[in-house]
Structure 1
Amino acid sequence: MELQAYLDRIGFTGRPALDLATLARIQRGHLEHIPYENLDVQLGRPVTIEPRDAFAKMVTGGRGGWCYEMNGLFGWALERIGFRVMRMTGAVLRAQRGDTAIGNHLALTVDLDEPYLVDVGLGDGPSEPIPLREGSYRQGWRTVRLERLDDGWWRFHNHELAFASSFDFRRQPADWDLLARQCRWLQTDPDSRFVQNLVCLRHQPDGVTALVGRVLKTVDAEGSRDHMLETPDAHAEALAAWFGIRLPEAAGLWPQIARRHEELFGPS
């Protein structure tokens, strides 16, 4: 695992420094060059929480990943540069699902002049480091917010058009056993939304592009716009053009993608 290979993958040039500007550049570079995607889950391939596995897949293999892989690799790279990173047990949509959500997300903070929340694993989450202070933060075309909860919990509130509206975390070291159990559940249980739906997201300079099943979606300052993909070839072309994913075996997913769309929305 070589740090320079990761920096090349995310388009980072120059020598990284231990400052907020570098941290922000690396976060943005990761988000714009490495897509969030769950194709391995859809293909029934095991996914781990090990950064070494994420490196092989996303740096060497040119793929993307989901939160455990994205933030796992990101945290590894930041530590190699010299940043002080805390890995934490996160909980996406704990506001709606309660404590059963704890462990469905790996979250990170970095200590500089103060702690900063950094995240590349929510798909369409924050695009810049956020000081660990209550308040609203403008990030390009959208506004996000941090809220302090009871019992040491914090809540990140995503922008209003986001796929995941929030995640919670406590600033304490991650429970790796819980994260591993949740990682296994999310990729194997029929009730998991990651088992049910193909999802890819990638940050663009002025928005986010998403592929959810057979719907290609653009979200930016103008709102949200959908484009229906009608054929497996169109789906493969979207994966390659928008997310840089060229995976021939993904073509075999089209029947289940089309079937899932019909279950949710009826015949097209």
Structure 2
Amino acid sequence: MFETTPFAPDELDAYFRRIGWEGDRRADAATLRGVHLAHSRAIPFENLDPLRGTVPSLAPADLIAKLVRTGRRGGYCYEHNMLLAGVLEALGLGVTLLTARVVLGAQRFEDRPRTHMALLVEVPGDPRPYLADVGFGAPGALLEPVPLTTDVEFHGAGRRHRLVHAPHRGPLRLWVLQAHEAHEAHGESGAGVWRAQYAFTVEPFERPDYEVINWHIATNPRSPFRSRAYVQRSTPGRHLLLDGPLLTETHADGTVERRELTNETEARRVLDEEFGIAVPDGTRLLP
């Protein structure tokens, strides 16, 4: 079970103000769903620290300072989910830290390393644990947590997900999170397709494991987060993604609009106005 230095009351208050959560602060499924959705829509995904050669800190105080108190920054998966884990634990929920293989676009699951962080959350009195994840940088990300149950379709804030099992070597079951993609997203018509997002087991990981993975992803020259800006934000009705110079807007009905940003001034303006991000000095956004 995840254990961390508890957030102080003023830190929790600042977090809930940051995500706009005015609901209950109870250890129940409704609070888990509400906080998860509010976090997903309020704090953007971004890799600006690794892009400018800095390894993001996962220390609780630093996560509060960057993602919460500035009000104009985000982070990538380890920052988002480590922050949420601390908040959920402070609310009285049980949290197990997981790692996953991002398999979106992969031919074989085994070709991808375990570099993504997700959470397994236990709600008192609920026999089902929940998969929670506010740090997956893709349009197929969860906006609300889903029970760890196979072959059931879950609808959350306009997105459709399900969990399935896949064969693999090892004593633990391999879980795969799938997201439903409308064919309109690919310029086609039809009922859409289920696409695997990431695969994981429920083996618990600890904070030192993520310190190593975080350092690797932030410093390895082959890491995509070192070579180009990758920023996303989910709002009601649309998902925004900046991948290098390409800005993609995906609407709830699956329609997609794309345009290429041409200069640094335009890129900074888009991050400011569309993503709510203040770009640190010295950051070069476009190749």
TM-score, length of structure 2 as denominator length: 0.81
The CA RMSD over aligned residues, in Å, is: 2.2
Moved over 6 A (4+): none
Q: Partners in 2 of 1:209 and 1:167 — Cα distance?
A: 20
Instruction: Write the deviation string for residues 20-52 of structure 1: whole angstroms up to 9, x where unpaired.
Output: 221111011101110000000111111233333
Q: Is residue 152 of structure 2 the alignment partner of residue 131 of structure 1?
A: no
Who is 1:182 aligned against?
213
In terms of fraction of residues, the more helix-rich structure is: 1
Say whether the 8 Å CA contact 2:176–2:196 is kept in structure 1: no
Greater shift after overlay, 132-141 or 24-33?
132-141
Q: Deviations over 1:217-265 (max 9, x none)?
A: 1112142211222222211111011211112525x414xx2x3xxxxxx
Of 253, 259, 262, which aligns to 1:230? 262
* Residues 204 and 3 of structure 1, relative CA distance in 2, 3 Å threshold: same
Amino acid at match of 1:32: R
Q: Is the 1:90–1:170 contact (alpha carbons within 8 Å) kept by the matching residues of 2?
A: yes
What residue in structure 2 maps to residue 66 of structure 1?
76
Residue 187 of structure 1: CA displacement? 1.2
Aligned residues: 254
Q: Indicate the residue corresponding to 2:192 in structure 1.
A: none
Residue ranges of structure 1 left out of the alignment (5+ in a row):
260-268
- Does 2:134 match 1:120? yes
Q: Distance in 2 between matches of 1:232 and 1:89?
A: 35
Among all aligned residue pairs of Structure 1 and Structure 2, give the percentage whose two residues are the same amino acid: 32
Say if 1:92 and 1:104, in contact at 8 Å, map to a contact too. yes
> Counterparts of 2:100 and 2:229 in 1: how far apart (Å)?
22
> Within 2, Cα distance between the matches of 1:88 and 1:100?
19
Q: 1:36 to 1:153 in 2, by over 3 A?
A: same
Separation of aligned partners in 1, 2:231 and 2:180: 18
- Deviation track 1:159-205 (CA, whole Å, cap 9, x = no partner) reads 4369x951122123115444332221211112111112211111111
Cα distance in 1 for partners of 2:211, 2:179 equals 25
Q: 1:103–1:178: 8 Å Cα contact kept in structure 2?
A: no
1:70 and 1:120 in contact (8 A); partners too: yes
Query: Is 2:55–2:214's contact at 8 Å kept on the other side of the alignment?
Result: no
Corresponding residue SS for 1:134: coil
Report matched runs for 1:46-125 at 5 Å. Answer: 46-62=55-71, 63-93=73-103, 96=107, 98-99=109-110, 101-112=112-123, 113=126, 114-123=128-137, 124=139, 125=141
Alignment of 1:1-268 (within 5 A): 1=7, 2-62=11-71, 63-93=73-103, 96=107, 98-99=109-110, 101-112=112-123, 113=126, 114-123=128-137, 124=139, 125-135=141-151, 136-150=153-167, 151-160=172-181, 165-220=196-251, 221-249=253-281, 252-254=283-285, 257=286, 259=287
Gaps of 5+ in 2: 1-6, 187-194
C-alpha contact 1:149 1:155 (8 A) present in aligned 2: yes
Distance across 1 between alignment mates of 2:265 and 2:161: 36
Distance 1:26 1:49 in 2: 20
* TM-fit CA distance, 1:142: 3.1
What amino acid is the match of 1:111? E
Given that 2:97 and 2:206 are in contact with CA atoms closer than 8 Å, whether structure 1 keeps it comes out as no
Change (3 A) 1:43 1:98: same
Q: CA deviation at 1:98?
A: 4.3
